């Protein structure tokens, strides 16, 4: 029986890969189900490897390309409508810079209106990055957990200390074993706005306050996310909320009438280069550092963990091995 400590997106993905290869798995988490206690709860659910390539390194783009299919294979509702990248007129230099780094189809006003009729007239230039996808992280976590339980994965609730043979997926709580892990705070808002129908994630470029909006269906939109070098998991600040809401309002004034349903914050677990790692130390396999790419990279990381345990293949993101 392999013990996976931590039932966030990383732990569940590892459990899915190992269980799928016939291994007996127990997942231990402090809490009984997905919820605000873990970072995975606050994610936007964008599976956008190309757009992330604007700032992320090559492995994120390459490994992230497998995510949409993997999640669909696990029964998640993956929506494949690409990403719409927009800039207001005053920020058009941002769009030109983005388009130099990210492959996409340039759009004029008519093209934007054809993709998202409710955004007609709100921006004159954009980019459509096809092949990207999104999902609802909360429904996905709950669905995967139920699926794994039905497959025979055992779920236990409690505090655990990883020991030899265990897989440590404790997110930021693993700093006791991974001292170079840091937190990068992210704040988000959930709105309800029934009068506006946006069907795919929209990124609004801005030199200081870039915004993304992820539709969750039935008039719900997740706005995200700040990125601050801080481990603080406390409530979102007024400034962060103001920035997110102002950007949404600049994208479409209809957001001014939205109901604010939720304001949240958490700290993303990240290493110095913002790339994830599989690290073996004292017989424990630590899988961590997903940064802003939890749903994007957990599938590839989980596959590498399973390849190592089942077939002895050294993972490409294994930076250390002390037995």
Ligand X SMILES: Cc1cc2nc3c(=O)[nH]c(=O)nc-3n(C[C@H](O)[C@H](O)[C@H](O)COP(=O)(O)OP(=O)(O)OC[C@H]3O[C@@H](n4cnc5c(N)ncnc54)[C@H](O)[C@@H]3O)c2cc1C
Q: Does 9 bind ligand X (CB under 6 A)?
A: yes
Nearer to ligand X by Cβ, of 6 and 126: the residue is: 6
- Residues constituting the chain: 323
Q: Residues near 238 by Cβ (< 8 Å), separated by ≥ 6?
A: none
Residue, CB closest to ligand X: 8
Binding-residue total with ligand X (CB under 6 A): 41
76 binds ligand X, rule: CB under 6 A:
no
Helix and strand element counts for the chain (H, E) = 9, 17
* Residue whose CB is less far from ligand X, 59 or 111: 59
82 binds ligand X, rule: CB under 6 A = no
Backbone angles phi, psi at 105, to 5 degrees: -90, 120
Which CB sits closer to ligand X, 38 or 125?
A: 38
Task: Pick the binder of ligand X from 14, 15, 39, 60 (CB under 6 A).
Answer: 39
Stretch that binds ligand X, among 44-52, 73-81, 99-107, 123-131 (CB under 6 A): 44-52
**Using CB under 6 A, which residues numbered 261 to 280 contact ligand X?**
266, 268-269
Taking CB under 6 A as the rule, does residue 229 contact ligand X?
Answer: no
Q: Work out how close the CB of 183 gets to ligand X at its nearest, in angstroms, rounded to a whole number.
A: 9
Window of 142-150, 243-251, 290-298, 314-322 that interacts with ligand X by CB under 6 A: 290-298
Min dist. Cβ of residue 41 to ligand X (A): 7
Residue 95 contacts residue 85 (beta carbons within 8 Å): yes
Residue number, 10 or 119, with CB nearest to ligand X = 10
Beta-sheet strand order (sheet of 259-270) = 105-108, 125-129, 83-87, 202-205, 211-217, 220-224, 182-192, 259-270
Copy the structure tokens of residue 145. Answer: 């957990």
Give exposure, 28-46, as e/b (b: 16+ Cβ within 10 Å): bbeeeebeeebbbbbbbbb
Element (H, E) at 49: helix 49-52
CB of 51 to ligand X, least distance (A): 10
User: How far is Cα 60 from Cα 300, in angstroms, rounded to an integer?
Assistant: 10
Instruction: Write b or e for each residue in 122-160: b if 16 or more Cβ atoms lie within 10 A of its Cβ, otherwise e.
Output: bbebbbbbebbbbbbbbebbebbbebbeeeebebeeeeb
**Which residues, 173 to 202, sit near ligand X by CB under 6 A?**
173, 186, 188
Of 125 and 205, nearer to ligand X (C-beta) is 205
Q: Rounded to the nearest whole angstrom, what is the least distance from the CB of residue 290 to ligand X in the complex?
A: 3
Contact at 8 Å (CB) between 310 and 21? yes
Positions that interact with ligand X (CB under 6 A): 5-11, 28-31, 37-40, 42-46, 159-160, 169-171, 173, 186, 188, 224-225, 266, 268-269, 288, 290-296
């Amino acid at each position: 029986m392999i013990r996976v400590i931590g039932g966030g997106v990383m732990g569940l993905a590892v459990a899915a890969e190992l269980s799928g290869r016939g291994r007996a798995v127990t997942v231990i988490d402090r809490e009984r189900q997905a919820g605000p206690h873990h970072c995975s709860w606050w994610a936007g659910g964008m599976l956008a490897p190309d757009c992330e390539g604007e700032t992320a390194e090559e492995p994120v783009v390459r490994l992230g390309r497998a995510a949409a299919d993997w999640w669909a294979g696990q029964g998640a509702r993956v929506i494949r409508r690409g990403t719409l990248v927009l800039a207001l007129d005053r920020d058009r230099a941002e769009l030109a810079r983005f388009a130099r780094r990210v492959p996409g189809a340039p759009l004029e006003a008519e093209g934007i209106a054809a993709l998202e009729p409710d955004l007609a007239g709100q921006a004159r230039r954009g980019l459509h990055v096809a092949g990207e996808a999104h999902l609802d992280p909360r429904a996905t976590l709950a669905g995967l957990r139920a699926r794994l339980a039905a497959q025979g994965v055992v779920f236990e609730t409690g505090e655990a200390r990883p020991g030899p043979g265990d897989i440590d997926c404790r997110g930021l709580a693993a700093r006791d074993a991974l001292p170079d892990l840091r937190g990068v705070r992210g704040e988000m808002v959930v709105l309800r706005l029934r009068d506006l129908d946006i069907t795919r994630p929209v990124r609004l470029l801005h030199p200081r306050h870039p915004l993304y909006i992820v539709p969750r269906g039935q008039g719900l939109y997740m706005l995200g996310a700040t990125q601050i070098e801080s481990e603080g998991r406390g409530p979102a600040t007024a400034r962060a909320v103001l920035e997110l809401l102002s950007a949404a309002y600049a994208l479409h004034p209809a957001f001014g009438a939205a109901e604010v349903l939720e304001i949240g914050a958490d700290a993303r677990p990240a290493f110095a280069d913002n790339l994830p790692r599989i690290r073996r130390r004292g017989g424990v396999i630590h899988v961590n550092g997903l940064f802003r790419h939890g749903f994007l990279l957990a599938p590839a990381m989980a596959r590498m963990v399973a390849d190592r345990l089942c077939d002895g293949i050294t993972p490409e993101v294994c930076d250390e091995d002390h037995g």
